[in-house]
Amino acid sequence: MNEKKRQNVFLRLMCAGLLLTSLNVTAQSDAKISSPFRNHASISEYIAYKADGSIIVSGHRGGREKGYPENSQEGFKNIIGRMTAIFEIDPRLTKDSVIVLMHDATLDRTTSGKGKLVDYTWNELQHIRLKDSEGNVTPYKIPTLEEVILWSKGKTIVNLDKKDVPMEQIADLIRKLDAADYVMLTVHTGAQARYYYDRFPEILLSVFARNWKEYEDIAISGVPWKNMIAYVGPSINDENRKIVDLLHSHGVRCMISVAPTHDKLASAADRHSKYLMEIATHPDIIESDIPTEVNDALKAQAK
């Protein structure tokens, strides 16, 4: 092969390499673009009710999958490594007003510690470790709300339940982290919804609408329906169907929770059967301690 032919072959190989690199970069870019959590617009679109039969799965207390603690960053990572999910989490205050994740007011059930969380400073919690769903002590530490919010951006939605943290302190943290575009807040009343909406007009809220009194309290708050999902109870049935239909007419997804009911069944087969039963009632969001099992039921139902 003469010198000119060698140069032509070299140039063709270079062009092919550049094309493959370009295709790879484009594929990676498209993968990022497909995420429902990439920005506020995509999150709002993902959350909005569309009458398309889609069901979102939410991890109750961040999920209690086997081998992982509830309200733990390690637990979140395990779940979203296997499926798309959002997470309801539980902020509480330490003695020195650091916001951490802990469902109970006491440490005994979910950690290696004893007594009330509020009796410990953040530094004193550093030697304490979280227990997994079966009560085994893990290497994992109690996370702060701040680190979890920062981690969640672009990966999922964390829905902050209302525990003992004053709303003012939650609002200050959201403002500090510029997180109003990608977190959700659970509120128990229309007044609480209005408090956050007045400070963060784009904020997403999880409201209670289990009965007409709760629905009307939210309706008169003046908060736009597009900012909301609604918890309607452990199931959709004859008692709340009219409320669900009305919420749907406003573009609001309706959430049920199987955490206090079907999740507690001892047999995976029994849980699966009950999850399929709930899926048949057409909820828009299913909250569960075991999100991966609910996701398996959704995939089975789709076949």
pLDDT tens across 25-73, in order?
Answer: 344 433 344 689 999 999 999 999 999 999 999 999 999 999 999 999 9
Indicate if 150 and 239 belong to the same structural domain. yes
Indicate if 236 and 129 belong to the same structural domain. yes
Q: pLDDT tens for residues 280-296?
A: 999 999 999 999 999 99
Indicate if 75 and 166 belong to the same structural domain. yes
Indicate if 30 and 148 belong to the same structural domain. no
Q: What is the Cα–Cα distance from 70 to 62, expressed in whole angstroms?
A: 5
- The total of structural domains in the chain comes to 2
Indicate if 16 and 159 belong to the same structural domain. no
Indicate if 30 and 42 belong to the same structural domain. no
Confidence of residue 91 (pLDDT cuts 50, 70, 90): very high
DSSP 8-state secondary structure symbol assigned to residue 266: S
Are the CB atoms for 79 and 59 separated by under 8 Å? yes
Two tokens at 244? 């669900």
Are the CB atoms for 231 and 210 separated by under 8 Å? yes
Indicate if 83 and 96 belong to the same structural domain. yes
Indicate if 250 and 267 belong to the same structural domain. yes
CB atoms within 10 A of CB 140: 17
CATH of the domain at 196: 3.20.20.190
Helix or strand run (H / E) with residue 18: helix 3-33
What sign does the dihedral 102-192-42-257 (CA atoms) show? positive
Indicate if 2 and 136 belong to the same structural domain. no
Indicate if 84 and 122 belong to the same structural domain. yes
Indicate if 21 and 87 belong to the same structural domain. no
Indicate if 15 and 83 belong to the same structural domain. no
Two tokens at 281? 């009632």
Q: What is the Cα–Cα distance from 41 to 182, expressed in whole angstroms?
A: 10
For residue 15, the enclosing domain spans 1-34
- Supply the pTM of this predicted model: 0.88
